[in-house]
Amino acid sequence: MAEITLKAIRHSYQANPIAPSDFAIRSVDITWRDGGAYALLGPSGCGKTTLLNIISGLLRPTEGAVLFNGVDVTAQDPVARDIAQIFQFPVIYDTMSVYRNLAFPLVNRGVSGEEVDRRVKEVAGMLDLSEMLNQRAVGLTADNKQKISLGRGLVRSDVNVIMFDEPLTVIDPHLKWKLRSELKRLHQRVGFTMIYVTHDQTEALTFADEVVVMHEGDVVQVGTPRDLFDRPEHTFVGHFIGSPGMNLMPCQIVDGKPIVGHSEIPVDRFFADHDKGNGLEFGIRPECIHLDPAGFPVSVMRIDDVGRYRIIRAEFEGQPLQILVKEEELIPSENLRIRFDRSSIQIYKDGWIVDRGVAK
């Protein structure tokens, strides 16, 4: 087990990268705590898998260093790093039985026969594979095959980190829940550092203690699921996490207060003035907007029923605004007025959160 540090990692798949867009990973500095359960979240093509392969050693970064427990392992191959990785679709050795599949990494490392047998049986027990040990792996269902992939990581006691690259892609939806909760349980039981790559926020938020959000080759935020929701550090996080995502509207700051269109929005903090308001955005989660007869007027475009909630798609100062209201709440048929929850308002400058808001 290990604490993993990425130091100023940059990576490009091109021979002579120049422009920032040539880089799949632009600049990443991050430390993964020993024994933590992390999710690496972002849309397709944001560099998640590249970053994962840099940690596992399948890729050498163009610049920067990878440290395991403070030791530089940048030049080491995956075997020397003692990591395990589970891929999008199950990788199993077709010709071998389940038992031999699980034993394979140990046998390759010269572990003694008795030890192999003990560990394989222990891991098979953990993963509910005990009854299949003598079957050929090729005939199993996708979820059992994926468990074998995972098992090949778990049998090794010296694993520094187990990495999952969208491991549930090919699993039937009804088994996804089951497998995901088993993973969570396993993490608590074995205590390995785990990194789980996904583009699905539900998967990320349910699995991880801490979520790393990536966007266009950069890590934009590291935080607990709660942090990501309450205080997105980048408009991308606000937009990407939550359903629907955060409302974002161009705004100005005058006398420490945000102004959207012609409306001055009351807040609980004081924001420093920003030059003419270029690139400033006002962000508020749909959950943090409340109906209030004394608030700002909005025009309603459409109301969608999504089960326990309804989403009001409205316009405020000419900007689209989505408002989440509970099922039982009454929506006035006309002259809808709203207020923004003061503490939940965030101001962004060029996409990044403005931290200079100070308490009044």
Partner 1 sequence: MIDRVSNQKAWLMVLPVILLVAFNAIIPLMTVVNYSVQETFGNNVFFWEGMKWFEEVLRSERFHASLGRQILFSFTILIIEVPLGILVALNMPRRGIGVSICLVLMALPLLIPWNVVGAMWNIFALPDIGLLGRAINGMGIEYNFTQNPVSAWLTVVAMDVWHWTSLVALLSYAGLCAIPDPYYQAAKIDGAGRWQIFRHIELPKLKRVLTIAILLRFMDSFMIYTEPFVLTGGGPGNTTTFLSIDLVKIALGQFDLGPAAAMSLIYFLIVLLLCWVFYTLMMRSESNTS
Positions that interact with partner 1 (CB under 8 A): 53, 56, 58, 77-79, 83-85, 87-89, 91, 93-96, 104-105, 108-109, 138, 149, 152, 165
- Judged by CB, which is closer to partner 1: 109, or 185? 109
Chain-centroid distance of CA 92 in Å reads: 27
- Judged by CB, which is closer to partner 1: 115, or 355? 115
In the complex, minimum distance from the CB of residue 20 to partner 1, in angstroms, rounded to a whole number? 25
- Judged by CB, which is closer to partner 1: 16, or 108? 108
**SS3 per residue for 174-239:** HHHHHHHHHHHHHHHHHCCEEEEEECCHHHHHHHCCEEEEEECCEEEEEECHHHHHHCCCEHHHHH
- Judged by CB, which is closer to partner 1: 154, or 336? 154
- Judged by CB, which is closer to partner 1: 152, or 269? 152
In the complex, minimum distance from the CB of residue 28 to partner 1, in angstroms, rounded to a whole number? 21
Q: What's the CA gap between 226 and 115, in Å, rounded?
A: 42
> 12 by DSSP, 3-state: which?
strand
Q: Which residues are within 8 A (CB) of 275 and not within 5 positions of it... i.e. 6 or more apart? A: none
- What type of residue sits at position 2? A
In the complex, minimum distance from the CB of residue 60 to partner 1, in angstroms, rounded to a whole number? 13
Q: Which residues are within 8 A (CB) of 24 and not within 5 positions of it... i.e. 6 or more apart? A: 11, 12, 13, 47, 50, 217
Q: What's the CA gap between 184 and 169, in Å, rounded?
A: 17
Q: Is 260 exposed, middle or buried (0-12, 13-18, 19+ CB in 10 A)?
A: buried
In the complex, minimum distance from the CB of residue 97 to partner 1, in angstroms, rounded to a whole number? 12
- Judged by CB, which is closer to partner 1: 79, or 331? 79
In the complex, minimum distance from the CB of residue 108 to partner 1, in angstroms, rounded to a whole number? 4
In the complex, minimum distance from the CB of residue 79 to partner 1, in angstroms, rounded to a whole number? 5
